[in-house]
Amino acid sequence: MELQTLERIECPLLLARVGNTPLVPLQSPNQAVQILGKVEWFNPGGSVKDRAARAIFETAIAEGKLTHDKTLIDATSGNTGIAYAMIGAALGYRVELVMPANVSAERKKIARAYGATITLTDPLEGSDGAIIKVRELALDRARYYYADQYNNDANWRAHYETTGKEIWQQTRGRITHLVAGVGTSGTMMGAGRRLKENNPAVQLVEVQPADELQVIEGLKHMPSAIVPGIYDSNLADRQVAIDTDAAYRETHRAAREEGLFVGLSAGAAIAAARQVAREIEQGIIVVILPDGGDRYLSTALWS
């Protein structure tokens, strides 16, 4: 299905600014390997999730599934929820979010600032607990449109149409590796498919927490989690497991040595990109940096 642009449904100019984020050079441990960060906090809602949320809204509206008498509801670890809330405010739709109680205070406050209603779930159950709860609430179909980002094809299609296309154009087709964390998996599934179509030799590298005990907001340990329906375990060429301590260290290093104030999932992705750079002889690695560090100031990351 070809995605419509939000401009066709008279979306405010603000949302037309979603996408077309820059690539910035990062320090590489291998002089023959260039690492480029896709800086997704340049989106108006401050994260990569603006892309999927915009596509989910536009598709639901175009198909008549989301009307002004319904509330859009979904489970989120924070960034998609903020994007939903921003777009809902801009277009005049109510938004209700279900998220783990341990999501950073900043994310909760930003979503509420946009007018979203929030239901919190057991932090020990992580994003899976939020998914279970939202499925229960969404049974009231007269009240809710369940966006279901984990199983909504508009999620990965947004990255196929935008993120992957942008990366190919920005690197002039010279990209050799794409490194991205997987949560809903939409970024890797969409951008990865697009890049593989352009050049099957491009290597796709998934970043996941090392095990179910490693907590990296926004990422899923797929073997122990509710696996998103849009996730294809056969798409990526390899997976790199990162533990929380390594993600913390790389997040701090990026800020103090490169002036890049990134979120924890971005730190994990940079750690994986640097690992790949050490292992190959030459190449151009693009790493997705989902959001900035300002959404984590109240967490242990910056204690």
Return the active site residues. 49, 265
Strands 71-75 and 283-289: unpaired
The two tokens of residue 76 are: 């989120």
> By C-alpha distance, which of 106, 123, 101 is closest to 299?
106
Which residue carries 């970043």 as its tokens?
207
Helix (H, G, I), strand (E, B) or coil at 121: strand
Q: For residues 76 and 130, is the Cβ–Cβ distance under 8 A?
A: yes
63, 195, 256, 300 from 303: Cα distances, Å: 46, 38, 15, 5
Task: Specify the amino acid at residue 114.
Answer: Y
- Cβ neighbours of residue 50 closer than 8 Å, sequence gap 6 or more: 18, 19, 43, 44, 83, 86
Task: Specify the amino acid at residue 164.
Answer: G
Chain mean position to CA 262: 13
DSSP line for 124-140: GGHHHHHHHHHHHHTT-
Under DSSP, the state recorded for 301 is G
Distance CA 11, CA 90 (A): 8
